[in-house]
Amino acid sequence: MTYPDFDTAFAIAMTISVAAGLMRGFAGVGSGMLMAPIFVLLFGPLETVAMVIMMEIIVTAQLMPGVHKQINWRVIGAMGVIIAALFMPVGSWLIFSLDPEPVSYTHLTLPTICSV
């Protein structure tokens, strides 16, 4: 799979990130689903997962001081610890072991289908 040059990819990624930020600002969710399909075409699946997760952590971290008292930590803790401990190693193994091209197309089509 060939990737566009850095300048074009960066401009497209910035535009998509701004749109995703607006969507998250109005709806509160969905920025990753908007960014992932385009980013996977620009940067590949492994880089896309890393970029989207880093952006989501930064955005979520700035919201934490205002809402941390309203969070049901038992539910979030169970999801975070149990589910992540079970499925993150599987996802990591899959993204490193599978061929990047089919994974790219899956990242492109699956979020698009699920969001419609």
Give the number of domains in the chain: 1
Residue of 58, 41, 54, 60 lying closest to 3 (CA atoms): 41
Q: 99 by DSSP, 3-state: which?
A: coil
Note whether 23 and 30 are within 8 A (CB): yes
Whether 109 is covered by a domain: the verdict is yes
Whether 84 is covered by a domain: the verdict is no
Whether 60 is covered by a domain: the verdict is yes
Whether 89 is covered by a domain: the verdict is no
DSSP letter for 80, please: I
Whether 78 is covered by a domain: the verdict is no
What is the domain extent for residue 22? 6-68+100-115
Q: Measured between alpha carbons, how far is 63 from 7 in angstroms, rounded to an integer?
A: 31
Whether 82 is covered by a domain: the verdict is no
CB atoms within 10 A of CB 84: 11
Whether 111 is covered by a domain: the verdict is yes
Mean pLDDT lowest among 19-23, 76-80, 83-87, 109-113: 109-113
Q: Give the model's pLDDT for residue 79.
A: 82
Whether 94 is covered by a domain: the verdict is no
pLDDT tens digits for range 28-72: 888 888 898 889 888 888 888 889 999 988 988 888 888 888 888
